[in-house]
Structure 1
Amino acid sequence: MRVITPELIQAAQRGFKTSFQKGFTGVAAMYASVATIVPSTSSEEIYGWLGDFPKLREWIGDRHIKSLAAKGYTIVNRKFESTVTVPRDNIEDDKLGLFGPRFEMMGNAAATHPDEITFELINGAFTNTCYDGQNFFDTDHPVGKEGNVQSVSNMQAGAGEIWILADLSRPLKPFIFQKRRDYNFTSKEDGKSSDHVFMRDEYVYGVDARVAAGYGFWQMAFGSKAELTAANLQAAYTAMTSFTDDEGRKLGIKPTHLIVGSTNLFKAREILLAEQIDGTTNTIRNLVQVMEAPLLN
């Protein structure tokens, strides 16, 4: 039996952290493709500028000053953690190799967690509000100056699986992933004098973070629960390319991706990759890229 020393505990921690990092870095997470990553410096961040889609105008006379605080949209950070224990006996008996996969899985879970909360947000986009007070996917987004406000839709109703047409080419994507404290591997190792070690004869390790997800510009995405067909996809594409700002100027939106769950994947590939549909030349072949999102509802 080995004697538990500070050096042995430190060596164990390094091994566990190495396994954690292996699992963390081995993941190709999706959230960065659909969400802009924004650093946070407090418990919440207010996105007042979301009320104004940035676009230049000709400078005639004085500058036209727009208030960034006209519409406040707040994203509140949330705390997350995962904690595991290693029995002291296993360290004494040199069985640390048994725990490598466990810590690798912890790293994998931490790396994929941003996907979980981002797609939790996306799946609720038909019922959760964005900066203008409407649901992110809605038929009644107010666009225009006071006295001439029009209702604009970025959704199709239906009862099927969600699919989303999105413009992911711009610095600000349709969704926001906010980081206050990044995912960090920690340990509680106070030696034999630790209350936890004394009472339970085990060492404690964990990962924690303070993060949150929120909605960006609704104009950058079009959500549908209607059947995924070429006609419905074309209608969504046309609607997005027709979006204007409050002054009636085209925003120049050009969808780049069709985001689908696993159920719609092969249908999406047929629509966008087939040379012909029902014996007719497929005029929307390669119109956008297909992105499979297993966490999409």
Structure 2
Amino acid sequence: MIITPGALTALFTAFRAEFQNAQAATPTDWQRVATVVPSSSTSNTYGWLGQFPTFREWIGDRVLKNMAAHSYSITNKKFESSVAVPRDAIEDDEVGVYKPLFAEMGRASSAHPDELVFALLKAGLTTTCYDGQYFFDIDHPVFPSTDGTGTAVSVSNYQDGEGPAWYLLDVSRAIKPIIFQNRRNYALKAMTDMNDETVFMRDEYRYGVDARVNVGFGFWQFAYCSKAPLTPDNYALARAAMKNFKADGGRPLGVNPGLLVVPSQLEGAARKIVVKDANAGNEWAGTAEVLAPSWLG
């Protein structure tokens, strides 16, 4: 191949097609448990976390509540994946060898949010959320007044144990348990200017994907973690605890746990509990879907 600016543009178009096709075809799970929040700055501060709107009969003037303010912030991080293609490979028409590499980069860009989201879910026992407690904790403060005053009662969304962790989530709300913050989406770029110093010095062209994103926690009330054995009794305990969660002021939140997230070694046990089996007579059948992402191990 004679290398010209036009030839390099056509080559990048072919590489980008491989990238985009694989990106679109890659199955992902992170959207099941995370809400995408766009970002337009270095970080987003979620001062409204912990504030659950409630309705009252409108008699007289509106009642404006001074809600407890939180300073939970998620700072965007930069991620990249880059490759170099030797000029000789292009000159010798060997670019077909590199097309699978760009397809893999497309797959990796779609899978990266999965890695971030489920890694954060696993870290929920040691990572704080908006109220200053670990996301999964036995001491979440819930106050008797809607403005966050008074003596708080400790509420737990965690059951201790020795086994692998499993999670029961309410993913039916506008804000899911995890927040995926997107400042700059994953996109393929090229450095193929024939006057570029790297092209001159190393005789290679560079291609890379980058993004600015990060993850953080939403409402702890929409998630429950257990390290006790995944049995019908412990599943029932988790459901009951979540359905009993209340906002400040004692108002029921109407939590509807409907997604059971488990590591691969617990997938069978999870399905025995919540997937209908005419022969098993399992009373919890149909109460939740099972999700066993490979990122949980």
Q: TM-score, normalised by structure 1?
A: 0.95
Match of 2:296 in 1: 296
Q: 1:140 to 1:276 in 2, by over 3 A?
A: farther
1:176 paired to 2:179:
yes
Q: CA deviation at 1:138?
A: 0.5
* Aligned-partner residue type, residue 287 of structure 1: T
After TM superposition, where is structure 1 displaced by more than 4 Å over at least 4 residues in a row? Answer: none
Match of 1:90 in 2: 89
Task: Give 5+ residue unaligned stretches, structure 2.
Answer: none
Preserved contact between residue 272 and residue 282 of structure 2 (Cα < 8 Å): no
Cα distance in 1, alignment partners of residues 55 and 225 from structure 2 = 28
1:200 paired to 2:205:
no
1:225 paired to 2:227:
yes
* Aligned-partner residue type, residue 293 of structure 2: A
Cα distance in 1, alignment partners of residues 24 and 58 from structure 2 = 48
Q: Give 1:55-74 correspondences, 5 Å limit.
A: 55-67=54-66, 70-74=69-73
1:127 paired to 2:129:
no
* CA offsets 1:243-284 (integer angstroms, 9 cap, x no match): 11111111111111101110100111111223455xxx3211
Cα distance in 1, alignment partners of residues 187 and 65 from structure 2 = 39
Match of 1:28 in 2: 27
Cα distance in 2, alignment partners of residues 268 and 142 from structure 1 = 30
- Aligned sequence identity (%): 48
Preserved contact between residue 34 and residue 177 of structure 2 (Cα < 8 Å): yes
Q: CA deviation at 1:161?
A: 1.1
Match of 2:189 in 1: 186
Cα distance in 2, alignment partners of residues 75 and 194 from structure 1 = 36
* Aligned-partner residue type, residue 260 of structure 1: V
Cα distance in 2, alignment partners of residues 9 and 152 from structure 1 = 60
Q: 1:69 to 1:11 in 2, by over 3 A?
A: farther
**Secondary structure of residue in 2 paired with 1:83:** strand
Cα distance in 2, alignment partners of residues 67 and 112 from structure 1 = 41
Q: CA deviation at 1:68?
A: 5.9
**Secondary structure of residue in 1 paired with 2:100:** helix
Equivalent pairs counted in the alignment come to: 292
Cα distance in 2, alignment partners of residues 178 and 68 from structure 1 = 24
**Secondary structure of residue in 1 paired with 2:183:** strand
* CA offsets 1:153-196 (integer angstroms, 9 cap, x no match): 111111211111011111111110000000011011111x2210
Q: CA deviation at 1:65?
A: 2.5
Match of 1:237 in 2: 239
Cα distance in 2, alignment partners of residues 109 and 263 from structure 1 = 24
**Secondary structure of residue in 1 paired with 2:15:** helix
Q: CA deviation at 1:21?
A: 0.5
Match of 1:161 in 2: 164
* Aligned-partner residue type, residue 132 of structure 2: G
1:138 paired to 2:137:
yes
Cα distance in 2, alignment partners of residues 295 and 206 from structure 1 = 24
1:78 paired to 2:80:
no
Q: 1:212 to 1:98 in 2, by over 3 A?
A: same
Cα distance in 1, alignment partners of residues 66 and 208 from structure 2 = 43
Cα distance in 1, alignment partners of residues 278 and 159 from structure 2 = 26
Preserved contact between residue 82 and residue 208 of structure 1 (Cα < 8 Å): yes
Cα distance in 1, alignment partners of residues 82 and 133 from structure 2 = 38
* Aligned-partner residue type, residue 168 of structure 1: V
Preserved contact between residue 51 and residue 68 of structure 2 (Cα < 8 Å): no
**Secondary structure of residue in 2 paired with 1:56:** coil
Cα distance in 1, alignment partners of residues 170 and 279 from structure 2 = 25
Task: Give 5+ residue unaligned stretches, structure 1.
Answer: none
